[in-house]
Structure 1
């Protein structure tokens, strides 16, 4: 059976990382049996030093995009096989927007903005041993903020980052419209990815300016609730 290695529970979500939720949701939508292995110690075993990664048939596959590609090649393209070439191009573009752009807005809202950081620090690091609490949270934050600046998003003002993220949310909302899923009546890979990123804001157990903004898009909120009810009934 496929083993999915992630960090662990995050309120109504299986993980605080959208990349971990992406793979979890894809596996559920594709109907592939799997078991979850949760814990920070997974990082020590991660082939690329990051989560998620999977174990399957004696293989280790890391990085969410390569995991999903592997799953499609190994078990068949269960979600996207009916999409047209144009639909697949749209899906690819939207996934890249979320992976490479919108993700950094989430990082900014949780790790750079002081209001988000205070809550994140208390929530993510509450179970650390006492001897790690004085220095480890700050070290993790410093590393993420360095990555944020290297990407370029961290160089912008808060209002500019919100403008970028709001445009991404608007694009998703317009593409979804009143459909149950992004390409009609059945979920595709894009639905798993959008859920992973937008639900991280809609369902996160604390508020940030970006999570409040995400909740102003009723089509996306309804979409998250719909996916959660169907594929995460134990968390709804």
Structure 2
């Protein structure tokens, strides 16, 4: 019997099973390959700062990074790519490299560096999913990591500042989306009638951009002009995730208030129960104090005297 598998990842929102690109990739691939995994969101735990997600736990094995997790699942005979030809396998690797090089920097900038999006969407979401005091640390750490990654990969001379990099990364990202849209065409999936690992990667990269309510995003506006890519995301959500109904738990403060309310109700209930028991004890015959019978009144004595 195969060992049970647990997938740790960020939780869902915006109509998605996860708002995290890497987590979405793995979640989609498990659906495509038929792998049964128990999904454990790291929301509201200390792992929001320390964990590298997604992370797949199986027996004594712990695997991180989407590519490594997908390889591990294939070794467990959960393979969504078994029908691909050698040429299609090479194309898969090429398109995944294109996503990493061209689209990822723009997504990092859109969600973590753009001031308006970060202040109104990204920071509040991740802060509300992290316990105090991590709600102050997690968003800023993620934002710093995103900025460093952009500058490291795209900040070569003469592009030294993020303002100089911004135009280049968005131009590359739009080109990448156009290529994906052209490659997909009118098909449901990129290779044949069944989704593969490439579909999982494209879904993971594109779906958050499609579904998030971003206050400011020229890249999202561009994506919405590519109808086949947005239909691609909606189709995968409808076919493979419609029964999941991702519904995030209430924010931390609401949970605390609800727990306090339940505790108060429990205390009141116990107090009422104790009061009722006391009343019953007082009213029971064995606990009534003995009182002598009152002396008969004059009228009673007269009425009882025989004629």
Task: With the length of structure 2 as denominator, give the TM-score of the two structures.
Answer: 0.69
Which segment is superposed worse, 54-63 or 217-226? 54-63
Q: Distance in 1 between matches of 2:66 and 2:129?
A: 27
Aligned to 1:174: 182
Instruction: Tell me which of 128, 141, 144 is aligned to 2:143.
Output: 141
Aligned to 1:184: 192
Deviation at 1:135, TM superposition (A): 5.3
Judged with a 3 Å threshold, the aligned counterparts in structure 2 of structure 1 residues 59 and 135 are, in CA distance, closer, same or farther, namely closer
For the pair shown, the structure with the greater C-alpha radius of gyration is 2
Aligned to 2:237: 228
Aligned to 1:71: 73
Judged with a 3 Å threshold, the aligned counterparts in structure 2 of structure 1 residues 170 and 55 are, in CA distance, closer, same or farther, namely same
User: Root-mean-square deviation (CA), in Å?
Assistant: 2.3
Q: Distance in 2 between matches of 1:187 and 1:220?
A: 14
Judged with a 3 Å threshold, the aligned counterparts in structure 2 of structure 1 residues 128 and 37 are, in CA distance, closer, same or farther, namely closer
Instruction: Check conservation: 2:5, 2:38, Cα contact below 8 A.
Output: yes
Aligned to 1:201: 209
Q: Which runs of 5+ in 2 are unaligned?
A: 156-160, 247-307
The runs of 4+ residues in structure 1 deviating greater than 6 Å are none
Q: Distance in 2 between matches of 1:87 and 1:3?
A: 30
Q: Distance in 1 between matches of 2:194 and 2:240?
A: 13
- Could you report, residue by residue, the CA deviation over 1:59-80 in whole angstroms, capped at 9, with x for unpaired residues? 1111110000111122243x21
Instruction: Check conservation: 2:48, 2:130, Cα contact below 8 A.
Output: no
Q: Distance in 2 between matches of 1:136 and 1:128?
A: 7
Q: Distance in 1 between matches of 2:117 and 2:173?
A: 16
Query: How many pairs align?
Result: 233
Instruction: Check conservation: 1:5, 1:42, Cα contact below 8 A.
Output: no
Q: Distance in 2 between matches of 1:180 and 1:100?
A: 25
Q: Distance in 2 between matches of 1:170 and 1:28?
A: 26
Give SS of 1:75's match.
coil
Deviation at 1:183, TM superposition (A): 0.9
Judged with a 3 Å threshold, the aligned counterparts in structure 2 of structure 1 residues 18 and 137 are, in CA distance, closer, same or farther, namely closer
Aligned to 1:164: 172
Q: Distance in 1 between matches of 2:75 and 2:49?
A: 24
